[in-house]
Amino acid sequence: MIAAVNGHAYAGGLETVLVCDFAYAVSTARFALTEVTIGIMPGGGGTQTLPRIVGERRAKEIILTGRQFTAAQALEWGVLNRVCEPGTLMDAVTETARTICDNAPLSVRQARKAIHQGLQMDLRRGLMFEIEAYNRLVDTKDRREGVLAFNERRKPVFKGR
């Protein structure tokens, strides 16, 4: 999932951005977890996802103050992958999505799963999980097509099999 922020992402909006695979935003976008300013706290994953992305100290400052931050800060802190000028956001998101879609769907799925699940494990178990995910791709038609296309110097045609 790619978040495309074309305005403000406060409270649940920012929590939604944080659970996406990656995020793009326009340069004028603003972000905040404002819940403490109205007597509640983030309840959509913000206290868990934000510290994993920006670190504990910065997450505490963001959450406990409820202050907004800019797209440039979000990029610097790892909340965003890219900042785009207004009017170019969806072109950038679509280009990235197309690039991903041109890759082998089984490989994309396994790599995404290995990253996500591996981060929930210690490094040793994460590496073992990665090998298991890799081995699931060895006998696929897409892997054979990818190798053949590479050897024939052409673009592969993946079928998701």
Instruction: Determine the Cα–Cα distance for residues 133 and 40; give it in Å rounded to an integer.
Output: 40
Q: Is 35 a catalytic residue?
A: yes
Is the C-alpha dihedral spanning 140, 143, 146, 151 positive or negative? negative
Cα gap 99→79, rounded to integer Å: 21
> Residues 35, 61, 85, 130: which is the catalytic one?
35
Q: Minimal CA–CA distance to 23: which of 59, 53, 47, 48?
A: 53
Count Cα neighbours of 117 within 13 Å in the Cβ-side half-sphere.
15
Determine whether 15 is an active site residue: yes
Q: Tokens 């994309």 — which residue?
A: 108
- Selecting among 15, 76, 95, 145, the annotated active-site residue is 15
Active site residues: 15, 35
